[in-house]
Amino acid sequence: MSASGDAEPSAALDAGGARLEPDKQGAGGERAARGLSGDDRRWMAHALALAERGLFTTTPNPRVGCVIVRNGAVLGEGWHQRAGEAHAEVAALADAHGKGHDVRGATVYVTLEPCNRHGRTPPCVDALLVAGITRVVAAMHDPNPEQASGAARLRASGISVDIGVLESAAAALNVGFLSRMQRGRPWVRSKIAASLDGRTALLSGESQWITSAAARADGHAWRARACAVLTGVGTVLHDDPQLDVREVPTTRQPLRVIVDRHGDTPAAARVLAGGNALVVTAGARNGAWPPTVESIDLHDHDGRVDLDALMRELARRGVNEVHVEAGAKLNGALLRAGLVDELVVYVGNSLIGDPARGMFELNPPLASLEDRVGLDWTSVERIGDDLRIVARVSRQSRNSEAAG
């Protein structure tokens, strides 16, 4: 499998999975030399837990948490909830002030470098300087080129700044935001339900239900954190899915995106109901679709949907994470295009046997095992009667395969 031209992921994007890993400060001695302590990690872990509260709501903004500490006591804490509303630092300052605390001389722990430019809201650097904070510890630099230099400006104003505490965990929490900022495309996660022998459907297409209700509910939580849910017209025609978030509480529904080359999605398909749907064609729009349905023609030279262009278009719209729930055809095309970053596979406790459909249809098939796609395991958990395996597509092995 070729690397198919997607940009080299940065170190930050490559770092870590969805798990807490040692930060990049190296040995304890080095940390101590830089004035960092175990307390710094502990407070940053607290800030990360706050940031996670924004998991379903902050898009297109990053998930950010902040805690303000002095002499081992929390003065205020906050997290970013929604684009256009207070950043984590401003929320934490407001919390401290609301509790009657003067934060002069305190340390701010924040999971992302404070911003320095006026976006939808004023720069957090200004708010921190006005409040008299004397030290800022951030988990990672802001990958947003428009916001860089917050740390530099704080330092220039005499504030002590440390960056990189629990960096891997912070990067994992904002993997989609990082991807959009650094690669110009979203983080793409394919969710698949399969039998133990890797079968996703009978040849007839029958696929409901290989996994349990618990796995389906868990799958909805992954949908809820995504900005867009992507499927193909084959799945729409066969299953008539709604592709919205129903099994976990959320205030925001992801955009439903359907790859539909010939515009075959029926006007009455449930996925189109109520709008919030984008159909991606390789040619004309279906005249029967109601005006609430947006469509876009993104054809490539072969008259297919240009998946790379689709991802760039979604990034342009502020989509950080794409959740794919598609059949083997679209999954295979995305994999071949180098556009799958992560897999969430629910493995049911059953066997379906050959011949039945697999997860990724590769056409033409691999010519050699050397071309296989490498994976890095992130986690294996039991969800109800099923197993859930999370894995990342290993860029390293793909790159070395492409070179070899």
Which residues are annotated as catalytic?
Answer: 89
Provide the minimum distance between the beta carbon of 147 and Zn ion in the complex, in angstroms, as a whole number: 8
- Report if residue 121 touches ligand AOF, rule: CB under 6 A: yes
| Cβ proximity to ligand AOF, 123 vs 332, nearer residue | 123
Read off the tokens for 186. Answer: 């979203």
| Cβ proximity to Zn ion, 44 vs 112, nearer residue | 112
Q: State how far the Cα of 227 lies from the Cα of 317, in Å rounded to an integer.
A: 10
- Cα angle 227-229-237, degrees, rounded to a multiple of 5: 160
Count of residues interacting with ligand AOF (CB under 6 A): 16
- Report if residue 120 touches ligand AOF, rule: CB under 6 A: yes
Span of 10-18, 115-123, 238-246, 295-303 interacting with ligand AOF by CB under 6 A: 115-123
- Report if residue 25 touches ligand AOF, rule: CB under 6 A: no
Provide the minimum distance between the beta carbon of 136 and Zn ion in the complex, in angstroms, as a whole number: 12
Residue 389 binds which one of ligand AOF, Zn ion, none, with CB within 5 to 8 A depending on kind? none
Q: Are strands 277-281 and 294-297 parallel, antiparallel or unpaired?
A: parallel
Span of 22-30, 56-64, 207-215, 394-402 interacting with ligand AOF by CB under 6 A: 56-64
Provide the minimum distance between the beta carbon of 89 and Zn ion in the complex, in angstroms, as a whole number: 6
Q: Are 6 and 338 in contact (CB under 8 A)?
A: yes
User: Which of residues 112, 170, 328, 356 is near ligand AOF by CB under 6 A?
Assistant: 112
User: Which of residues 63, 70, 87, 225 is near Zn ion by CB under 5 A?
Assistant: 87
| Cβ proximity to ligand AOF, 83 vs 248, nearer residue | 83
Q: Are 87 and 117 in contact (CB under 8 A)?
A: no
- Report if residue 119 touches ligand AOF, rule: CB under 6 A: yes
For residue 5, give every residue at least 6 positions away whose Cβ sits within 8 Å of its Cβ, in sequence order, or none.
Answer: 308, 338
| Cβ proximity to ligand AOF, 144 vs 281, nearer residue | 144
Q: Would you list the DSSP string of 48-112?
A: HHHHHTTTTT-TTSPP-EEEEEETTEEEEEEE--STTS--HHHHHHHHHHHTT---TT-EEEESS
- Report if residue 115 touches ligand AOF, rule: CB under 6 A: yes
Beginning with the edge strand found earlier in the chain, give each strand of the sheet holding 187-194 in spatial order.
294-297, 277-281, 255-259, 228-232, 321-324, 187-194, 342-347, 386-393, 375-383
Q: State how far the Cα of 69 lies from the Cα of 43, in Å rounded to an integer.
A: 8
- Report if residue 63 touches Zn ion, rule: CB under 5 A: no
| Cβ proximity to Zn ion, 83 vs 214, nearer residue | 83
- Report if residue 180 touches ligand AOF, rule: CB under 6 A: no
User: Which of residues 45, 67, 124, 359 is near Zn ion by CB under 5 A?
Assistant: 124
For residue 173, give every residue at least 6 positions away whose Cβ sits within 8 Å of its Cβ, in sequence order, or none.
Answer: 48, 51, 52, 55, 63, 111
User: Which of residues 77, 142, 260, 386 is near ligand AOF by CB under 6 A?
Assistant: 142
Q: State how far the Cα of 364 lies from the Cα of 75, in Å rounded to an integer.
A: 60
Q: Would you list the DSSP string of 147-170?
A: TTTHHHHHHHTT-EEEE-TTHHHH
CB-CB neighbours of 49 under 10 Å = 14
Q: Please list every residue from 255 through 284 that binds Zn ion, using CB under 5 A.
A: none
- Report if residue 64 touches ligand AOF, rule: CB under 6 A: yes
User: Which of residues 1, 88, 243, 347 is near ligand AOF by CB under 6 A?
Assistant: 88
The residue assigned the tokens 């684009």 is 83
Provide the minimum distance between the beta carbon of 192 and ligand AOF in the complex, in angstroms, as a whole number: 31
Provide the minimum distance between the beta carbon of 88 and ligand AOF in the complex, in angstroms, as a whole number: 4
- Cα angle 350-1-195, degrees, rounded to a multiple of 5: 5
Q: State how far the Cα of 383 lies from the Cα of 236, in Å rounded to an integer.
A: 26
Rounded CA Rg of the chain: 23
Residue 234 binds which one of Zn ion, ligand AOF, none, with CB within 5 to 8 A depending on kind? none
Provide the minimum distance between the beta carbon of 48 and ligand AOF in the complex, in angstroms, as a whole number: 13
Distances in Å between the Cα of 252 and the Cα atoms of 57, 77, 184, 195 are 7, 24, 23, 31
Residue 149 binds which one of ligand AOF, Zn ion, none, with CB within 5 to 8 A depending on kind? none
- Report if residue 115 touches Zn ion, rule: CB under 5 A: yes
Residue 233 binds which one of ligand AOF, Zn ion, none, with CB within 5 to 8 A depending on kind? none
Residues of this chain that bind ligand AOF (CB under 6 A): 61-62, 64, 80, 83, 87-88, 112, 115, 119-121, 124, 142, 144, 147
